[in-house]
Amino acid sequence: MKRLIALPFRKSLEIAFQSIRVRFFRSLVTTTSLVLAVAFLCYMQACNDFAQALLNSGDINSYQVLVKAGYDVSFGTDVIASSAKQRWIVTLSLLVCIVGIINAQLMSVTERFREIGTMKCLGALDRFIVRLFVLEALMQGLAGSLAGALLGVLSATISSAFTLGISIFSSFPWLALVSSMLLSVIVGTSLSLIGVIYPAILAARMQPVEAMRLEH
């Protein structure tokens, strides 16, 4: 292949990272909505994990403690699942979050029209542009969801210690918490990626002339 245009993966990673670093404050705002949504999701999961752990501990008083704390348990219950209401609220918060991400990414694309047009004039292919935006979203998504997951688990630990008592520390559900965090990170990163698809395609499809014609 004589006519090859390339952008090595490492270089794209570098450019994407630099883009985030330079626009750190803006990225932070975009990521904050994700952090909050993921933290909420993780908080719900982790609270249930603590309740489940308490239930599994086999303590006679655990039923009373759980009922008092508002969990829907009775004698004979052995699995604590999230309630329909909880699921609704989490879904809604994730939906709001994804709309927020799309909005922020669209603005960031508009802001960078000229930059994208310039890159295309220098020979960038559509997929380079998509790749840069997706990588940026991936980094933001990972960082944001990790922060959110940690925040969620931390707040769940504190609030559970108050509602369920310090006995939760004697049967600390490490494994369940880690898997809840993992789930939250996966969900958060996917949200970030889903949110960037449309803006990235919009950016990549743009003709360089159009990008140049726009005045700032």
- The correct pick among 13, 28, 106, 125 for binding another protein (CB under 8 A) is 125
Task: Tell me whether residue 11 or residue 87 sits nearer to another protein (CB atom).
Answer: 11
CB 39 within 8 A of CB 162: no
25 binds another protein (CB under 8 A): no
The CA-to-CA distance between both ends of the chain, in Å, stands at 39
Over the window 89 to 118, marking each residue x when it contacts another protein by CB under 8 A and - when it does not, the resulting string is -------------------------xx-xx
Angstrom distances, CA of residue 160 to CA of 15, 25, 41, 55: 43, 33, 15, 13
CB 132 within 8 A of CB 16: yes
121 binds another protein (CB under 8 A): yes
- Whole-angstrom Cα distance, residue 43 to residue 21? 29
214 binds another protein (CB under 8 A): no
Task: Tell me whether residue 85 or residue 216 sits nearer to another protein (CB atom).
Answer: 216
Residue (of 9, 214, 4) closest to 113 by Cα position: 214
- Whole-angstrom Cα distance, residue 200 to residue 85? 34
- The correct pick among 5, 95, 96, 178 for binding another protein (CB under 8 A) is 5
131 binds another protein (CB under 8 A): no
Contact range with another protein by CB under 8 A, out of 34-42, 99-107, 179-187, 208-216: 208-216
- Whole-angstrom Cα distance, residue 92 to residue 95? 5
Task: Tell me whether residue 16 or residue 94 sits nearer to another protein (CB atom).
Answer: 16
Binding site for another protein (CB under 8 A): 3-8, 11, 15, 18-19, 22-23, 114-115, 117-126, 128, 207-209, 212
